[in-house]
Amino acid sequence: MNTKITKLLGIEYPVVQGAMAWIADGVLASSVSAAGGLGIIAGGAAPVDYIREQIRYARSKTDKPLGMNIMLLSPNADDLAQLAIDEKIEVLTTGAGNPGKYMEMWKNAGIKVMPVVASVALAKRMARAGADAVIAEGMEGGGHIGEATTMSLLPQVVDAVDVPVIGAGGIADGRGMAAALLLGAEGVQCGTVFLATPECQISDKYKELVLKASDISTVVTGRPSGHPVRALKTPLTRKCLELEKEVSEQSLEEIEAATAGSLRKAVQDGNYEEGTFMSGQIAGMLGELRPCAQVLREMTAGAEELLKNAYKRFE
d(CA 253, CA 246): 13
Pick the CATH number of 12-201+283-314 from 1.10.3720.10, 3.20.20.70, 3.40.50.10310, 3.30.2310.20: 3.20.20.70
Identify which has the larger pLDDT, 1 or 143: 143
Asked if 221 and 240 touch (Cβ cutoff 8 Å), the reply is: yes
Rounded Cα distance, 79 and 314, in Å:
55
Residue 185, φ and ψ in degrees, nearest 5: -70, 155
Q: Looking at the predicted structure, is the pLDDT value of residue 159 above 80? A: yes
**Cβ(136)–Cβ(104) under 8 Å?**
no
* Residue 54 identity: Q
Q: In b/e form, how buried is each residue of 186-198, taking b as 16+ CB within 10 angstroms? A: bbbbbbbbbbbbe
| Domain ranges for the chain | 12-201+283-314, 218-278
Percentage of the residues of the chain whose pLDDT score is greater than 90:
79
d(CA 205, CA 172): 21
Of the candidates 75, 71, 91, 212, the residue with the CA atom closest to the CA atom of residue 144: 71
Buried b (16+ CB within 10 A) or exposed e, 162-181: ebbbbbbbbbbbbebbbbbb
Half-sphere exposure of 72 (CA within 13 A, CB side): 17
Phi, psi for residue 269 in degrees, rounded to 5: -100, -20
- One-letter amino acid at 59 equals R
Q: How many CB atoms lie within 10 A of CB 243?
A: 19
The answer to whether the Cα torsion of 185, 191, 196, 197 is positive or negative is positive
User: Lowest mean pLDDT: which of 128-132, 186-190, 247-251?
Assistant: 247-251
Mean pLDDT confidence for 169-198: 96
Give pLDDT, residue 185: 97
User: What torsion, rounded to 10 degrees, do the Cα atoms 116, 121, 125, 126 define?
Assistant: 20
- Give pLDDT tens digits for 6-45: 999 999 999 999 999 889 999 999 999 999 999 999 987 7
